[in-house]
Amino acid sequence: MAVAYKRPHAYCDVPTHYCPGCTHGIVHRILSEVIDEMGIEGDTIGICPVGCSVMAYDYFNCDMIEAPHGRAPAVATGVKRAKPDSYVFTYQGDGDLAAIGTCETVHAATRGENIVVIFINNTTYGMTGGQMAPTTLPGQVTQTTPFGRDTSVQGFPVKVCEMLSTLSGTALAQRVAVDSVPHINEAKKAIRKAFENQKEKRGFSIVEVLSTCPTNWGLSPVEALDRLRNEMIPYYPLGVYKDVNVREEGKEDA
């Protein structure tokens, strides 16, 4: 009988704590598949954020480090600079990456750190119970925007790929989604590309994954996917925002 589903080796065979219908699991799976396909598990070091994926250190079979909230890109920098031949990735939520950790994110990118950043944009602080995130959409109701995000009071969402693609150290900035099989395939290709970049030392690579948080959105898993499609993608268009080799760019600049 043909094997229809095989757990990637890089994805530990343990139950996760994610809510039913949460897309963190999908992203874990495709990331693990990429690690397997490239045969790099033994050389990979992953950095977890503080957020719903804080315990991802138990889910990936490579060596793992748990960083303080927002500091994963700095931790990754330390790892990569100490062990330049390893593969280093961070896995971060929107609060982690684009609020408390904005400084670390921007500077890791502008230094052109050869790391991969997997950025889970679910427009909310999942772990702490659904407060406003830097990516919360205008009008979106959260625990701390009970009347909807009012841009005249709470300002505007951060568009991370757009912002980071302006930095010379960014090699890849790509936004993907995990709401459908074609999109998931696209997401996996982007993650693969990010790791290939790291192999070739092309610079900082970020893959922003539009994700769901059915629990805090107050939606069923299927409704949550619909919201991702109908509300998030129009505001956060999918696509490649930047794809260069920053080392070669640098040479041209000089």
Ligand X SMILES: Cc1ncc(C[n+]2csc(CCOP(=O)(O)OP(=O)(O)O)c2C)c(N)n1
**Contacting residues toward ligand SF4, per CB under 6 A:** 18-19, 22, 24, 52, 122, 126-127, 213-216
In the complex, least distance from residue 197 CB atom to ligand SF4, rounded to whole angstroms? 27
Give the CA distances from residue 106 to residues 71, 110, 124, 191, 250, in Å, rounded to whole numbers and listed in that order. Answer: 11, 6, 20, 19, 18
User: Count of alpha carbons within 13 Å of 206, Cβ hemisphere only?
Assistant: 33
Nearer to ligand X, 49 or 203 (CB): 49
Q: Which residues bind other proteins (CB under 8 A)?
A: 41-45, 47, 54-55, 57-58, 60-68, 71, 74-83, 86, 103-104, 106-107
CA dist., res. 163 & res. 102, Å (int): 11
What values do phi and psi take at 175, rounded to 5? -105, 130
Nearer to other proteins, 47 or 210 (CB): 47
Q: How many helices (H) and strands (E) does the chain have?
A: 11, 7
Q: Which residues bind ligand X (CB under 6 A)?
A: 49-53, 69, 93-96, 120, 122, 124-128, 133
35 and 62 Cβ atoms separated by less than 8 Å: yes
Q: Any idea how long the chain is?
A: 254
Q: Which of 23, 90, 105, 122 binds Mg ion (CB under 5 A)?
A: 122
In the complex, least distance from residue 68 CB atom to ligand X, rounded to whole angstroms? 7
> CB under 5 to 8 A by kind: which of ligand X, ligand SF4, Mg ion, none does 214 bind?
ligand SF4
